[in-house]
């Protein structure tokens, strides 16, 4: 009984929704246009944030690469020193 009632209420909501869309078609079209515009703004903000992040990441990579190049390599360890450290 409960499942049939849910299906019936769902069908009623669908019919009422379609009737309201037809009755308020101008308002519905304005709302859809507003959603499209907001979608463009949100996607644009996301792309802007991603682009800025990529630029910062590339600059950080260049800075780290320059830092690694400027750092002298560690002095070689002689076999005698490595034996002292091990035991």
Q: Answer yes or no: is 27 within a domain.
A: no
Containing structural domain, residue 42: 38-69
DSSP 9-30: HHHHHHHHHHHHHHHTHHHHHH
Residue 26 lies in a domain: no
Enter the pTM of the model.
Answer: 0.59
Residue 79 lies in a domain: no
Q: Is residue 52 part of a domain?
A: yes
Structural domains in the chain (count): 1
Contact of 28 with 21, CB cutoff 8 Å? yes
- Pick the more confident residue, 84 or 7: 7
Asked, for residue 47, whether it belongs to a domain, the answer is yes
Rg (CA), the chain: 33
pLDDT tens per residue, range 18-57: 999 999 999 999 999 999 999 999 999 999 999 999 999 9
């Amino acid at each position: 009984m409960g499942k049939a009632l849910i299906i019936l209420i769902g069908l009623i909501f669908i019919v009422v929704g379609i009737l309201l869309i037809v009755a308020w078609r101008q308002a519905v079209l304005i709302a859809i246009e507003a959603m499209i515009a907001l979608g463009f703004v949100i996607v644009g903000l996301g792309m802007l944030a991603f682009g800025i992040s990529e630029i910062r990441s590339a600059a950080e990579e260049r800075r780290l690469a320059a830092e690694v190049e400027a750092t002298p390599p560690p002095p070689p360890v002689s076999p005698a020193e490595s034996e002292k450290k091990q035991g």
